[in-house]
């Protein structure tokens, strides 16, 4: 389970149900559902994000926020959505930094390259942050290690990257068409 502190764990169990056994089961169910929530949204570290959600909820409740008696676990789902939003924002910023690094090596620093960089960044917005990182790493020449990490053969990785690239190209075509 989590590396959440015993104090936080006990506090959350007490808030989820008056019966200690039921509270433990409710906590475990909430914990597992939060992990699945983040997994289904393709987050890199779903356990860490679930822990962040529970810790934030704990701190807010300790600070005086009242939980609804009929569904105290529901409060944590709102926090989970915010944690997911923040996680994606950080991931996009990371991808943008990697993209800038990759493009600065590939293209000279002139106006034309800047326009290409802006257009490519806009086109990459059709991908999830994880997909964008995969595409960047593949074209940086990190395909073998990437294939091992993803558990894909060379051929399966090439097909996956081809499909990602096709989505980016379609995004660029749509962007160009909308400007005309």
**What is the helix (H) or strand (E) element at residue 99, kind and residue range?**
helix 74-106
Whether 116 is in a domain gets the answer yes
Output the pLDDT for position 113. Answer: 61
Output the pLDDT for position 30. Answer: 86
Whether 94 is in a domain gets the answer no
Output the pLDDT for position 37. Answer: 93
Domain that holds residue 145: 110-179
| Cα–Cα dist 39/57, whole Å | 20
| Cα–Cα dist 3/100, whole Å | 35
CA distances from 160 to 29, 93, 150, 154 (A): 34, 23, 11, 10
In a shared domain, residues 72 and 116: no
Q: Is the Cβ–Cβ distance between 161 and 171 less than 8 Å? A: no
- Name the average pLDDT for the chain: 76
The series of mean pLDDT values per 10 residues for the chain, 180 residues long, is 60 67 79 91 86 87 72 82 86 63 47 65 77 80 82 89 83 70
| Cα–Cα dist 69/162, whole Å | 51
Cβ contacts of 81 within 8 Å, gap of 6 or more = none
Number of domains composing the chain: 2
| Cα–Cα dist 123/76, whole Å | 34
Output the pLDDT for position 50. Answer: 92
């Amino acid at each position: 389970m989590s590396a959440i502190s015993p104090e936080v764990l006990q506090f959350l169990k007490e808030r989820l149900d008056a019966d200690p056994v039921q509270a433990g089961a409710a906590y475990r169910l909430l914990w597992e559902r939060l992990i699945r929530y983040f997994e289904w949204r393709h987050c890199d570290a779903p356990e860490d994000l679930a822990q962040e959600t529970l810790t934030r909820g704990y701190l807010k409740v300790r600070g005086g926020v009242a939980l609804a008696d009929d569904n105290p676990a529901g409060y944590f789902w709102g926090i989970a959505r915010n944690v997911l939003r923040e996680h994606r924002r950080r991931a996009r910023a990371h991808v943008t930094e990697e993209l800038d690094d990759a493009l600065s090596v590939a293209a000279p620093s002139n106006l034309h390259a800047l326009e290409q960089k802006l257009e490519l960044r806009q086109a990459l917005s059709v991908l999830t942050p994880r997909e964008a990182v995969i595409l960047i790493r593949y074209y940086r020449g990190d395909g073998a290690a990437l294939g091992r990490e993803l558990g894909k053969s060379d051929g399966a990785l090439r097909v996956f990257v081809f499909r990602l690239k096709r989505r980016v190209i379609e995004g660029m075509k749509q962007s160009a068409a909308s400007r005309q």
